[in-house]
């Protein structure tokens, strides 16, 4: 297990201990150990004397860490979970409610889950507890409301993995000619409610039986001749609707279950103008008494005298108003040349500079930027100015060793609550690539947060603003920021804005990308914000979001050759 995974388990243990009411000294010892493991610039397995080599890890916490390394699990943690009411840890998902407060609510008011918590808040019992008060009670009520009202949707990445796995299994079935997924998943929406699969077969009963016997099926909701609906528990508990159609109907059915409701209405209107009727099985021409089917979706659009519209654009957001040759030639994954936001063991990443460079090289990248956190973000092991100098030496050495890829020395620098940058100009001017980010004080007013970002963009050494709205999908709303002012500031200063590919962020969202491109002509960088080699694989989700925002190759910095990238960076300075 890598350092980050070990640190997460130790941190979870500290949370469970605090829920149990363990003394704060003991809990903090485990939290300190978790930070030490996560911030270590050396893998735990490379420590000759074991975990005790790390500053902040004692004998007791070292034994826990070693157990995780040896077994991949932690018996004490599992025992603690069994002793707690099963719904109690769920309360930690409510914004503003930590394990210590939850323990107090559990012990003093008998709160064992969300329903209990709502009841005691409604009765005004919380504000009377020591250390709580009216303000905290109000904040808890707001946190419950946010938790309750969040849409019951799943992250794109989680659903995508499930759908890909099911399609792969279906293609192994002898009775299946073709299989694919549609819906908001195929349109690459940031969150997905359920999965729509389309299967071409002449033996629907055989395929239905095959589906119902798949691993992870917990309930058969519908078992029809042409539609099978399953409740799956495969990492996410999600409904999967499978349409079983004849092979010649596959394309029209896939098309029908890909477009948004609004897009499909426009398709039906278009067909009606020709005197035709559209269904999920084809386009019916009543004059000829025949149903048109297609081998490719391009043929369907051509028949309707429309340019081909990519799945990510099928939202009725102006795509029907474009003539042949006017729709953008959307960016593809093959256009991508290099990732400009990633972290290593120098801050809160899992591996070394060289390991990240090799992983990027294996993906065919021409260049990357190493952008570990700056000094103020202590929770992520932020680097001091001296650390940056030493890291630069390591980057230079790896550049000397590796051929075919260039590593830029960079930093992800905090924009501090008072608007100052975390490093003075004399530090950041020595770097190849400088990112500025808001990581703290999200509750500031919209004007204050906006001013912080604008001030950072005015600095000639700041090249890019990362994850500009700060949102975490299904967990945290964007902070209040005036994006029109940010767009204008980026345009005036030549600052690049990031599309962060982490599926929890996908920030900037598609609507903002479209405006940044069409109204302001701003250059976007699509980055992974990877903390491990595996997380470099998040880029396809960023590219999918970029396609939803109608971005083309020319709009995205990472599609440019290194010489052109460096020319753009020099221009900002």
- Beta-sheet pairing, 433-437 with 406-414: parallel
pLDDT the model gives residue 121: 92
Domain boundaries, the chain: 3-149, 151-245, 257-327, 333-572
What torsion, rounded to 10 degrees, do the Cα atoms 236, 182, 246, 237 define? Answer: 10
CB 192 within 8 A of CB 185: yes
pLDDT the model gives residue 476: 84
pLDDT the model gives residue 457: 98
pLDDT the model gives residue 225: 86
pLDDT the model gives residue 151: 59
User: What are the tokens at 347?
Assistant: 């801050």
Q: Which of 568, 569, 557, 570 is nearest to 366 (CA)?
A: 557
CATH superfamily of 3-149: DNA polymerase beta, N-terminal domain-like (1.10.150.110)
CATH superfamily of 333-572: Metal-dependent hydrolases (3.20.20.140)
Q: Which of 190, 173, 171 is nearest to 181 (CA)?
A: 171
The CATH number given to 151-245 is: 3.30.460.10
CB 378 within 8 A of CB 402: no
Q: Which of 566, 476, 480, 568 is nearest to 523 (CA)?
A: 568
Alpha carbon of residue 552 to chain centroid? 21
Helix (H, G, I), strand (E, B) or coil at 283: strand
pLDDT the model gives residue 427: 97
pLDDT in tens, 525-567: 999 999 999 999 999 999 999 999 999 999 999 999 999 999 9
pLDDT the model gives residue 308: 97
Q: What is the number of alpha carbons within 13 Å of residue 215 lying toward its C-beta?
A: 5
What torsion, rounded to 10 degrees, do the Cα atoms 423, 429, 430, 434 define? Answer: 70
Give residue 150's pLDDT band: very low, low, confident or very high (50, 70, 90): low
pLDDT in tens, 123-145: 999 999 988 989 889 889 988 88
pLDDT the model gives residue 147: 78
* CA 70, 72, 78, 81 torsion-angle sign: positive
- Average pLDDT value for residue range 204-214: 95
Instruction: List Cβ neighbours of 302 (8 Å cut-off, separation of 6 or more).
Output: 308
Contacts 24+ apart (CB under 8 A), 559-564: 559/331, 559/335, 559/336, 559/337, 560/337, 561/337, 561/366, 562/337, 562/338, 562/366, 562/367, 562/406
**% of residues, the chain, pLDDT over 70:** 99
- Average pLDDT value for residue range 474-487: 92
The partner residues of 369 in beta bridges, in order of sequence, read 408
Cα–Cα distance measured from residue 23 to residue 508, given in angstroms and rounded to the nearest whole number? 42
Alpha carbon of residue 385 to chain centroid? 30
Give whole-number Cα distances, 222 to 212, 219, 227, 234, 311, in Å: 10, 9, 7, 19, 27
User: What are the tokens at 83?
Assistant: 């002793």
pLDDT in tens, 297-355: 999 999 999 999 999 999 999 999 998 899 999 999 999 999 999 999 999 888 999 99
Cα–Cα distance measured from residue 553 to residue 330, given in angstroms and rounded to the nearest whole number? 7
pLDDT in tens, 417-465: 999 999 999 999 999 999 999 999 998 999 999 999 999 999 999 999 9
The partner residues of 178 in beta bridges, in order of sequence, read 200
CB 301 within 8 A of CB 285: no
Per-residue burial over 21-39, b if 16 or more Cβ lie within 10 Å, else e, is ebeeeebebbbbbbbbbbb
- Compute the C-alpha angle 396/397/401, nearest 5°: 115
Cα–Cα distance measured from residue 512 to residue 515, given in angstroms and rounded to the nearest whole number? 5
pLDDT the model gives residue 46: 84
Cα–Cα distance measured from residue 343 to residue 533, given in angstroms and rounded to the nearest whole number? 10
Cα–Cα distance measured from residue 371 to residue 11, given in angstroms and rounded to the nearest whole number? 25
Check whether 1 has a pLDDT greater than 70. no
pLDDT in tens, 48-100: 888 888 888 888 899 999 999 989 889 999 999 999 898 898 898 887 788 99
Rg (CA), the chain: 26
Helix (H, G, I), strand (E, B) or coil at 87: coil
pLDDT the model gives residue 531: 93
The size of the chain, in residues, is 573
Q: In what order do the strands lie in the sheet with 496-500?
A: 338-339, 367-370, 406-414, 433-437, 464-465, 496-500, 524-527
DSSP per residue, 446-486? HHHHHHHHHHHHTSTT--EE-STT--BTTTBPPP---HHHH
Cα–Cα distance measured from residue 180 to residue 171, given in angstroms and rounded to the nearest whole number? 9
User: What are the tokens at 359?
Assistant: 């992983």
CB 84 within 8 A of CB 16: yes
Cα–Cα distance measured from residue 561 to residue 569, given in angstroms and rounded to the nearest whole number? 13
- Beta-sheet pairing, 367-370 with 406-414: parallel
Average pLDDT, the chain: 93
- Average pLDDT value for residue range 410-421: 97
CB 156 within 8 A of CB 191: yes
Alpha carbon of residue 340 to chain centroid? 16
User: What are the tokens at 232?
Assistant: 């799956």
User: 511: how many CB neighbours lie within 10 A of its CB?
Assistant: 12
Check whether 390 has a pLDDT greater than 70. yes
Give whole-number Cα distances, 47 to 37, 44, 52, 104, in Å: 11, 5, 9, 39
User: What are the tokens at 317?
Assistant: 């957001």
Check whether 35 has a pLDDT greater than 90. no
CB 263 within 8 A of CB 316: yes
Cα–Cα distance measured from residue 309 to residue 327, given in angstroms and rounded to the nearest whole number? 8
Q: What is the pTM assigned to this prediction?
A: 0.80
- Average pLDDT value for residue range 216-236: 89
Q: Name the helix (H) or strand (E) containing 369.
A: strand 367-370
pLDDT in tens, 261-289: 999 999 999 999 999 999 999 999 998 88
Instruction: List Cβ neighbours of 131 (8 Å cut-off, separation of 6 or more).
Output: 101, 104
The CATH number given to 257-327 is: 3.30.210.10
pLDDT the model gives residue 385: 96
CB 343 within 8 A of CB 564: no
Cα–Cα distance measured from residue 87 to residue 260, given in angstroms and rounded to the nearest whole number? 36
């Amino acid at each position: 297990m890598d350092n980050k995974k070990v640190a997460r388990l130790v941190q979870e243990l500290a949370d469970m201990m605090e829920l149990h009411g363990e003394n704060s000294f003991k809990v903090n010892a485990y939290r300190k150990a978790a930070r030490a493991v996560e911030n270590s610039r050396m893998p735990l397995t490379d420590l000759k004397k074991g975990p005790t080599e790390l500053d902040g890890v004692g004998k007791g916490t070292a034994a826990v860490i070693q157990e995780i390394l040896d077994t991949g699990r932690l018996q004490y943690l599992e025992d603690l979970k069994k002793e707690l009411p099963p719904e109690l840890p769920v309360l930690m998902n409510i914004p503003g409610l930590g394990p210590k407060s939850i323990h107090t609510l559990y012990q003093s008011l008998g709160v064992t889950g969300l329903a209990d918590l709502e009841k005691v808040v409604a009765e005004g019992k919380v504000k009377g507890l020591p250390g709580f008060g009216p303000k905290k009670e109000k904040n808890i009520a707001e946190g419950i409301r946010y938790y309750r009202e969040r849409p019951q949707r799943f992250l794109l990445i989680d659903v995508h993995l499930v759908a890909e796995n099911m399609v792969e299994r279906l293609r192994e079935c002898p009775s299946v000619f073709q299989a694919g997924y549609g819906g908001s998943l195929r349109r690459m929406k940031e969150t997905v409610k359920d999965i729509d699969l389309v299967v071409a077969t002449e033996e629907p009963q055989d395929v239905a039986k095959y589906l119902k016997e798949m691993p992870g099926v917990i309930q058969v909701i519908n078992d029809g001749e042409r539609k099978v609906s399953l409740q799956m528990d495969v990492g996410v508990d999600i409904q999967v609707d499978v349409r079983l159609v004849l092979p010649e109907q596959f394309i029209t059915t896939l098309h029908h279950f890909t477009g948004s409701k609004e897009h499909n209405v426009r398709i039906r209107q278009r067909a009606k103008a020709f005197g035709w009727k559209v269904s999920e099985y084809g386009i019916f021409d009543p004059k000829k008494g025949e149903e048109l089917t297609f081998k490719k979706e391009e043929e369907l659009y051509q028949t309707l005298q429309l340019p081909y519209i990519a799945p990510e654009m099928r939202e009725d957001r102006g795509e029907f108003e474009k003539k042949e040759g006017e729709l953008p030639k959307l960016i593809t994954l093959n256009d991508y040349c290099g990732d400009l936001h990633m972290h290593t063991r120098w801050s809160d990443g899992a591996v070394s500079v060289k390991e990240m460079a090799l992983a990027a090289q294996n993906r065919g990248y021409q260049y990357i930027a190493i952008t570990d956190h700056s000094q103020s973000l202590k929770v992520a092991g932020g680097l001091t100015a001296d650390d940056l100098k030493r890291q630069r030496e390591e980057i230079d050495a790896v550049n000397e060793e590796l051929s075919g890829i260039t590593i830029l020395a960079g930093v992800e620098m905090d924009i501090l609550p008072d608007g100052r940058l975390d490093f003075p100009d004399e530090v950041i001017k020595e770097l190849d690539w400088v990112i500025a980010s808001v990581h703290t004080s999200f509750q500031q007013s919209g004007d204050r947060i906006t001013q912080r970002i604008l001030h950072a963009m005015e600095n000639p050494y700041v090249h890019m603003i990362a994850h500009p709205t700060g949102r975490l999908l299904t967990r945290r709303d964007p902070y209040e920021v005036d994006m029109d002012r940010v767009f204008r500031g980026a345009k005036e200063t030549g600052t690049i804005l990031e599309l962060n590919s982490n599926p929890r962020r996908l920030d900037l969202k598609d609507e903002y990308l479209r405006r940044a491109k069409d109204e302001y002509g701003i250059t976007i960088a699509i980055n992974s914000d990877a903390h491990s080699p595996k997380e470099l694989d998040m880029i396809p989700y960023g590219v999918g979001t970029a396609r939803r925002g109608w971005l083309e190759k020319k709009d995205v910095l990472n599609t440019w050759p290194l010489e052109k990238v460096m020319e753009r960076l020099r221009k900002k300075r």
